[in-house]
């Protein structure tokens, strides 16, 4: 048994390294929002279980492949940042060719599942999302403009649209409304992170907003975008996509987010920025969970 232990441990470490390439925590939020889109797309009853399963697997695989490509492209940048230097590529746990092959196989598998078991529209939309994140955002936007998060946020806002298309075979106005919520949520979410990681981004040479425009301007931007987000989250109730339960959740969660943003603007600290960033993740999860719960209430 001792003879095989080192080989087994090495295989387990490599397997974990490939798993970490997919950014599982981010991926889980992506998949969660996509699944919510699938359920909201059905006015009465439940979506087809096989479609939900296949769409979830396909979207998760392509999202994981996009994350792996992001790690591949940014490995030199990641090595210079305290937040990311522990990723598999900067640590030398995997070779670039291995990561490229992994991303190709994982992404190809996901797209095949979507095309064969879901529908071509979902496959093409998911592929476009992959290109938007792995190529447009990672290669062109992130290293060149402080508006990278705003413009590139379109890719991150696609999951509920993908879920909607998986079940219905189309993209409706309601699906785009879900897109708009995540699109408005993305800037305050990431800028809260950038505020307490400003030195990291500056050392890596990335033009994040607090690096190029300073912390005061960024804090004001967080507040303004949080106010925009609050208004946007009321639209599902206004358009009758949701009911009173969602409205109450959107108001309470939104006011809490605004409170965080206001405190960041008036009395900044790195600890508060961390709290705001963490709350923003819980905020989006709870908001979409409220959408789902409200959807099945017998109003």
Q: Which of 147, 171, 195 is the last residue of a domain?
A: 171
160 shares its domain with 294:
no
Q: Which residues of the chain have pLDDT under 50?
A: 1
CB of 291 within 8 A of CB of 41? no
CB of 162 within 8 A of CB of 57? no
The pLDDT score that the predictor gives to residue 133 is 97
Q: Which of 152, 171, 190 is the last residue of a domain?
A: 171
Q: Which of 155, 171, 187 is the last residue of a domain?
A: 171
153 shares its domain with 230:
no
The pLDDT score that the predictor gives to residue 273 is 98
SS3 label, residue 2:
coil
CB of 109 within 8 A of CB of 61? yes
Q: Which of 190, 186, 182 is nearest to 164 (CA)?
A: 182
Q: What sections of the chain are H helices per DSSP?
A: 5-21, 24-40, 49-73, 75-80, 96-113, 120-131, 148-156, 159-168, 173-196, 198-204, 209-212, 215-233, 235-238, 244-266, 270-295
- The total number of structural domains in the chain stands at 2
Q: Which residue has the tokens 């030398």?
A: 92
108 shares its domain with 180:
no
Distance CA 18, CA 32 (A): 21
Distance CA 119, CA 115 (A): 5
201 shares its domain with 62:
no
Distance CA 248, CA 26 (A): 26
119 shares its domain with 190:
no
Cβ burial, residue 15 (10 Å; 0-12/13-18/19+): exposed
CB of 218 within 8 A of CB of 149? no
9 shares its domain with 142:
yes
The domain that holds 271 is classified in CATH as: 1.20.120
116 shares its domain with 182:
no
Distance CA 117, CA 54 (A): 6
Question: Range of 89's domain?
Answer: 1-171
pLDDT in tens, 189-208: 999 999 999 999 999 999 99
271 shares its domain with 293:
yes
Distance CA 180, CA 233 (A): 9
Distance CA 292, CA 252 (A): 17
19 shares its domain with 119:
yes
CB of 214 within 8 A of CB of 292? no
153 shares its domain with 194:
no
| CA–CA distances in Å: residue 288 to residues 13, 125, 136, 140, 250 | 34, 21, 27, 30, 9
Q: Which residue has the tokens 């600290």?
A: 269
146 shares its domain with 200:
no
90 shares its domain with 228:
no
The pLDDT score that the predictor gives to residue 6 is 61
The domain that holds 36 is classified in CATH as: 1.10.357.140
Q: Which of 180, 187, 179 is nearest to 149 (CA)?
A: 187
């Amino acid at each position: 048994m001792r003879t095989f232990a080192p080989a087994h441990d090495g295989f387990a470490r490599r397997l974990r390294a490939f798993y970490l390439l997919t950014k599982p925590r981010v991926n889980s939020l992506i998949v969660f929002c996509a699944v919510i889109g699938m359920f909201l797309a059905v006015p009465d009853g439940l979506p087809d279980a096989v479609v939900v399963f296949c769409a979830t697997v396909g979207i998760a695989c392509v999202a994981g492949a996009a994350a792996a490509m992001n790690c591949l492209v940014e490995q030199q940048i990641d090595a210079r940042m305290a937040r990311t230097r522990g990723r598999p590529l900067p640590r030398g746990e995997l070779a670039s060719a291995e990561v490229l092959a992994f991303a190709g196989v994982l992404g190809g598998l996901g797209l095949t599942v979507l095309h064969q078991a879901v529908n071509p529209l979902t496959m093409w939309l998911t592929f476009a999302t992959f290109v938007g994140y792995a190529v447009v955002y990672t290669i062109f936007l992130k290293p060149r403009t402080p508006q990278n998060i705003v413009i590139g946020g379109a890719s991150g806002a696609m999951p509920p649209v993908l879920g909607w298309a998986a079940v219905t075979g189309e993209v409706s106005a309601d699906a785009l409304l879900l897109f708009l919520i995540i699109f408005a949520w993305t800037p305050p979410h990431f800028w809260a992170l950038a505020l307490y990681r400003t030195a990291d981004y500056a050392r890596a040479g990335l033009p994040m907003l607090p690096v190029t425009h300073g912390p005061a301007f960024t804090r004001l931007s967080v507040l303004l975008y949080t106010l925009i987000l609050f208004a946007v989250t009321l639209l599902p109730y206004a358009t009758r996509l949701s009911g009173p339960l969602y409205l109450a959740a959107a108001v309470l969660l939104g006011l809490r987010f605004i409170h965080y943003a206001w405190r960041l603007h008036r009395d900044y600290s790195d600890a508060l920025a961390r709290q705001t960033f963490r709350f923003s993740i819980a905020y989006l999860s709870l908001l979409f969970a409220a959408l789902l719960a409200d959807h099945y209430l017998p109003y």
